[in-house]
Amino acid sequence: MTKNKRLILCILCVGLCLIIYCVSYIAKLNVFVLSPLVAKAFTGNDLETFCSTDGADTTFYRMFTYAKVKKNGDLILVMTDQQIEDWKNGNFYLQLLQKIVGSERQIVTEVIPPTDPFSELFYKDADIMCGFEISEDYTRIYADPEDGTFLYFGFVPHACLAMQVLSGKPSDEISYTFIEYDEEGNIVEQFVWPDDFMDEAEDD
């Protein structure tokens, strides 16, 4: 084999290795296109600030590969499989959701109880105090009179929204409905996101 042929063969091998690496890397990427409303609820921050600071002051800090706000206001968020796993494991809301649903579903891959006193207060007995029934697609939450509605109402919806986002559901299909029943099975409270949220914003 001549020197030129060996050189060409080496170049082809390197090129093939690069292609395999790129394909493997791209296969691990998850691209989310989120409407402004869903993106704000998901990230918990102003979107321009979120992108310009790499998610500083949020649970997403250094937990994504790319983020940009489109001209129409949508957020493009790119995360690897590992980044998603790390973010979920380090997110108190999702750890709390795992505690509530128990072993029947996997929310996080590693159960990490919170260590700060405030979060620990809600987490410790969540599986006992919070008897919410949560639908498989995380769009509906049902509460009975004995459930800790006051304690957990503010935590669970965010986690359910996050699970819908991570499943790849389009923004215009993401919602959750919270329904509370009395002892006779009558609905005493119902809250729908984003409809009720938008109504409250317009009233303000």
A 10 A CB-CB count for 129 gives: 14
30's tokens: 């998850």
Q: Which residues contact 162 (CB under 8 A, 6 or more apart)?
A: 42, 91, 93, 94
What are the pLDDT tens digits along the chain (204 aa)? 565 555 555 454 444 434 433 334 444 599 999 999 999 999 988 999 999 999 999 999 989 999 999 999 999 999 999 999 999 999 999 999 999 999 889 999 999 999 999 899 889 988 888 888 999 999 999 988 877 666 788 888 899 999 999 999 999 999 999 999 988 889 988 989 988 765 444 444
Quote helix, strand, coil % in the chain, to nearest 5.
Answer: 50, 15, 35
pLDDT recorded at residue 78: 96
| CB-CB contact of 75 with 134 (8 Å) | no
pLDDT of residue 135: 95
Alpha helices for 113-194 (secondary structure H): 117-123, 126-129, 149-152, 156-166
What is the Cβ-side half-sphere exposure of residue 144, based on CA atoms within 13 angstroms? 10
pTM of the entire structure? 0.80
Cα–Cα distance for residue pair 26/94, rounded to 1 Å: 26
Q: Quick check: 84 and 166 in contact, CB under 8 A? A: yes
CA distance to 78, 117, 147, per residue, from 66 (Å)? 5, 33, 40
Contact 179, 142 (CB under 8 A): yes
Alpha carbons 20 and 22: distance in angstroms, whole number:
6
Q: Is 155 within 8 Å of 180 (Cβ atoms)?
A: no
Half-sphere exposure for 91 (CA within 13 Å, toward CB): 28
User: Given this model, what pLDDT does residue 20 score?
Assistant: 37
